[in-house]
Amino acid sequence: MTPPFRAKSTLEQWRIFQAVVDYGGYAQAASQLNKSQSSLNHAVSKLQGLLGVQLLEVKGRKAYLTPIGEVMLRRSKLLSQNIQELEVLAASLEQGWEPKLSVSCDAVQSKAPVIKALKAFLPDSRGTRIELLDNVLGGSDEAIYDHSVDMVITPILPQGVLGEKFGTVTMLPVVQRNHPLAKIAASVSINEVVQHLQLVVRDTGSHPHLDRGWLRAEQRWTFSGFSQVLEVLNQGLGFAWLPDHIVAPYLENESLVELNILGGAAKTLVTYLVICRPEQLGPAGQHFAKILLQCSKQR
């Protein structure tokens, strides 16, 4: 069995080495660290002796990095940063700061405000890992009920569940521009639409809600995500209800066309941020939830 590795050098020696470089010499570093110049000189000399390499060259009153010293300085600063982050994480965990947060986001919701919130949260995250999951309809309900995640962004509030308004999404009926339905000049009737193939996204719940969403067409193809629906749709196959933020660029370049259905067909959904167990959400979760709601209101 290989004996465990035992470091020859200490973190303090590396810290002194970094200070000598950062402040431009032993005298300047000694002043900043409130130590004697001789103690710093001794620490760096001992470090070089233990490693068997020259890290610094003193010319006049200034210390210069050797080529080896440049490499070791970069790596040692990463080590110091990791130690600092480790100590901050330990202090945060002691205060109840969660090491991990799980967020379920329904596929109809645009990820733009969520990504903006992640970016804003990162400087304050203290090492908290974020897990972002995609769900559809029943999958969002189950995530709320079984408490498998910390928070859920969903267009449907299950009975007895409270949530704060997060955003709005308009579902638009669309086809590829060469699809037969796109060639009808006037408004198309719903009876004409249902004669064609419908492309839908699979409900991720273990017990799909067949009464949710518009599923009147007899012939349906089901996919795991909107990106797959778009690929098939762009081949001129079928029609689909898709979120406005997803289809906007395709409508703009006219590769897709919004159907003008008699009686109206666009459906606007309100999305909500649900905290699954508010009484158990720690400081990291509370902070991230606040940032999410702030970013959802920004345009």
pLDDT, one tens digit per residue, over 48-98 is 898 899 998 877 777 788 999 999 889 888 888 777 767 765 655 565 788
- Residue 243 pLDDT > 90: yes
Structure-block tokens of residue 235: 């081949």
The CA distance from 97 to 79, in Å, is 23
Structure-block tokens of residue 214: 């518009």
The CA distance from 140 to 282, in Å, is 22
Residue with tokens 């009686």: 263
CB environment 30-47: b (16+ within 10 A), e (fewer): beeeeeeeeebbebbeeb
The residue type found at 33 is: L
If pLDDT is split at 50, 70 and 90, which confidence band does 299 have?
low
Q: What is the DSSP letter of 146?
A: T
Residue with tokens 């600063």: 77
Contact 64, 57 (CB under 8 A): yes
User: What confidence score (pLDDT) does residue 82 get?
Assistant: 78
pTM of the full structure = 0.65
Contact 118, 137 (CB under 8 A): no
Mean model confidence pLDDT for the chain: 85
If pLDDT is split at 50, 70 and 90, which confidence band does 235 have?
very high
Q: What is the pLDDT averaged over residues 127-153?
A: 86
Domains observed in the chain: 11-94 (1.10.10.10), 101-299 (3.40.190.290)
3-state secondary structure of 267: strand
Residue with tokens 């719940």: 205
